[in-house]
A and B are shown apart, each in its own frame.
Chain A
Amino acid sequence: MAYEMIVLTNMLIAILFAQSLNLITGFCGQVSLGHAAFLGIGAYTSAMLTKSGLPLVATFIPAMVIAGTIGLFVGAASLRVRHDFLAITTMGVSFLFTGIIRKQDMLGGEMGIAGIPSPEGGRVGLLLMALCLTILFIIVMIYIKRSWMGYVFDSIAEDEDTASIIGIDVRRFKLFAFILGTAGAGLAGALYAHQVRFIGPDSFGFVESVTVLSMVIVGGIGSIWGVTIAAALLSVMPQFFQVIDDYKLLVYGMLLFLAMRFLPEGLGGLTKTFRKDRGQT
């Protein structure tokens, strides 16, 4: 049971993390190649706090606030650039983040932070917390998507210029999405830190950012269910692929390529086609 539980928790954290990016990329069309930096900010915040004696639950808000605040600055700065430039700017932010962490002795520097306390309620507690927070975040996303804001976001993602012509304050909405998305990543980070209980600069590098972006794209940008399934599958893959051992990453890479080649709208697109087919018959 313990093994299934830890894998399941991993999966839930991955879903939360992927959804937080989905909020930015899917709702507003902003591509981020540096989202892992915000996972890291949340993880470091939460780990420092629980190590000083706070319970994990009490660190969720600070982790979100700090990640979201830094997200606000990065978002405001990245509004100056668009499209492909944005992707590279966020990538730069993530490199800068790990670069700075490496030199901060207060945050463990290269050594990282070890001995992060076990969360209240142990593995079961963490699993339940991850479950509740992930569901909560998805509910918020569905709510936004169905509210009037969802239509605004859609119009921005589809065509930013038209949206601004019809009087939408594109900047404000993009910034809102960025803050919410980065705060969500911070939350996932708090969980991550207490799942692995050792964090270091290398845990939040470029590879993690790429991994989470591929979850969103394989799932289908903007599709809540698609991204949930993609994050669940891709996050457990290295564990289940232990069988094919030597070819694990090869298969992972090929799957990304094949998914894009044959399922360019991701898993979310699959259900759409299915629905369309049904509509026609």
Chain B
Amino acid sequence: MLKTLQASVMALLISLAASIGIANADTIKIGFNVPLTGFAAADGQSALHGAELAVEQVNANGGVNGDALELVVYDDQASPKESAPLAIKMITQDEVVAGVSGSYSGSTRAAATIFAENNVPYISAYAIHPDITRAGEYVFRTSFMGEVQGRAGAKLIGEMLGAKRVTMITLNNDFGISLANGFKEQTDNFGIEVISEYEYSIKDREFGAIVSKIKSDNPDAIYASGYFFTAGPLVSQLRAAGIDQPVIGQEGYDSQKFIEIAGPASEGVMITTSLDRDSSDPMTQAFIEGFSNKAGYPADMVAASAHTAILVLADALARSGSLDKASLRDAIAATDLKASTGQISFNALGEVKKDVQIQIVRDGNWHHHSVISDPDLLAPPSE
């Protein structure tokens, strides 16, 4: 509590100082819709810290071609009903040059339609809905689609771990379903047999019955989709029931909170994600350190994704050299940038092409396990 207060006071001071320091130069406005209240507020806060950190870093290095970046932040409560008017507001009233979504799929999809129609570039930081980039050619995504990560998960389990009989625990929402689709698409290629699949809702924290059933299924490995607040209880309940087979998750787990909730049970859990905490890359290191200084807690995937999205935009702004939206769009499309979540470039649809990081929990922290860089396997849809 005190820490977050301190952090927010610091953030306020920094942004004040920043705005005074460069009051003479022009500012470039970037719209940012993010859930700050309601059920998604936790992810929203991380995303906001990550985005603010990126803006501070850019401005500290002299801004974009001498102009400072300014984040125009709106709370969308992760609701499509709220995000649609906010998108219009950002475009017509705040006159942002581009928008970034630090929000979930529904609100991002609704806003993407409006950005696309008005020919204003829009980048989804971590919303995974497959239709987001299909809103139009001005919409991009810097995180993996669910399908791509699902395929990577299948390779990890079937090929790298050599596990063949797999139980799936699927989260019932767009994230979980698209992961499951990607996973199932590749099961034959990696010789995986899905012996059972259970579904749960995002509201569930109690998995007693499923755990009992899995114990009798006795799979070689468990592929469980979820977020840290569902996966934490799930993994601890699985381990508590004596199920010690490998558990493979995804970027939804990617938070120190997961380890905090699952405790010792989290040891050995592997995930497919995009943030490599052991990376020697100075950019990633600066992000990880900068984030925990700023936010008061360790960086997570959501924060890294928002950070990356802003940097991609800043880089494109610098390259395009003008605030013209069409040339900015083309600059984003031509991105080839090293960011906190790896080397970023886009395909024709605006989907990101990058390596999948495998992280594993060791001694109470996320650590590097391996990297999957298989452009064919990881190719996002291009139309």
Contacts and interface: CB of A to CB of B under 8 A. Distances in A.
Interface stretch (A48-56, A169-177, A245-253): A245-253
Interface of A: 1-3, 6-7, 10, 102, 109-112, 114-115, 118, 192, 195-200, 202-203, 238-239, 242, 245-246, 248-249
B36 interface: yes
Contacts of A3: 85, 88-89, 92-93
A102 B92 contact: no
B174 A110 contact: yes
Given A3-B89, A111-B174, A249-B38, 8 more contacts: A1-B92, A2-B91, A112-B109, A114-B109, A115-B135, A198-B106, A198-B110, A246-B37
A246 B84 CA distance: 20
B81 A10 contact: yes
B174 A112 contact: yes
17 contacts: A2-B92, A7-B85, A102-B172, A111-B177, A114-B135, A118-B117, A196-B80, A196-B84, A197-B84, A198-B80, A198-B106, A198-B113, A200-B106, A203-B79, A238-B77, A249-B38, A249-B77
Interface in B110-131: 110, 113, 117, 129-131
A118 B116 CA distance: 12
B292 interface: no
B85 A111 contact: no
Sort chain B's interface into a size bin. 20 to 34
B75 interface: yes
A266 B131 CA distance: 42
Contact of A6 (B84, B129, B131): B84
B74 interface: yes
A195 B36 contact: no
Interface of B: 36-38, 74-75, 77, 79-82, 84-86, 88-89, 91-93, 106, 109-110, 113, 117, 129-131, 134-135, 172-174, 176-178
A204 B81 CA distance: 11
A6 B85 contact: yes
Contacts of B129: 111, 114
A200 B131 CA distance: 12
